[in-house]
Amino acid sequence: MSQKFACAFAILCAAATVIVAAQKPPAGFTALFNGRDLTGWRGGDTFDHRALLAMPEAERAARIATWTASMKAHWRAENGELVNDGQGAYATTEKDYGDFELLLEYRTVALADSGIYLRGVPQVQIWDYTEKAKFELGADKGSGGLWNNSPGAPGKDPLVFADKPFGEWNAFRVLMVGSKVSVWLNGKLVVDHATLEHYYDRKTPIPDRGPIQLQTHGGEIRWRNIFIREISN
């Protein structure tokens, strides 16, 4: 083996090692994204999960197939990252979850906003905090709030601004037990044990179980190190 080839091979091996290491879950957690492909994910939308489960099986399967085709056209695995181009259906876990602790990192671009649906309910908000047109909606307050809660409700706006500048990775920790949610963004507590309102029917609690969804909305967003720890009652 030539020295040049050996050098190139070593670099490739090192890169592969970095990707694998980056996807290793912390103790007690499992990876939702394997870093290589879309295994474990289907398509989804802003849609009441209870209504989806109540559909006849064939109708439900057809709806999910349509969403999944859209998702796969706009999401891809790339260098250990789950990448969306800003369009298409949402990346949605095939599995439903009850109480859990969720860890993930994201990086996005200007004029994009996104979110994380918990048990299929919107959402932990991700903003472009520089977009002045959305300051009246709360973009200048930063990401991490439960934006679809009622105006003035606990958790709707983050307690502190915690976003990093564009181009840098942001890290979320989300703890959900019952209807209560706490959120840390880049190590700062931004939601403190607030009730996530049921967006589809505010008179009732959110479902006991449902999928994790990564919303796509208007601009490229990248996700990595997506880990979950299920909490037993």
pLDDT at 3 over 80: no
The count of domains in the chain is 1
* Stated length of the chain: 233
Looking at residue 8, its pLDDT comes to 42
Q: Which domain holds residue 95?
A: 3-230
Looking at residue 187, its pLDDT comes to 98
Cα gap 27→40, rounded to integer Å? 20
Looking at residue 209, its pLDDT comes to 97
10 Å Cβ neighbour count for 35?
19
Which tens digits make up the pLDDT trace of 203-231?
Answer: 999 999 999 999 988 888 999 999 999 99
The mean pLDDT value for 122-138 works out to 91
Write the CATH number for 147. Answer: 2.60.120.560
Partners of 185 in beta bridges = 172, 188
The whole-model pTM stands at 0.89
The mean pLDDT value for 88-97 works out to 98
Phi, psi (rounded to 5 degrees) for 72: -65, -20
Percent of the chain at pLDDT exceeding 90: 78
Q: Which residues contact 209 (CB under 8 A, 6 or more apart)?
A: 96, 97, 98, 119
Among the listed residues 94, 145, 102, 117, the one whose alpha carbon sits nearest the alpha carbon of residue 206? 117
Which tens digits make up the pLDDT trace of 178-201?
Answer: 999 999 999 999 999 999 999 999
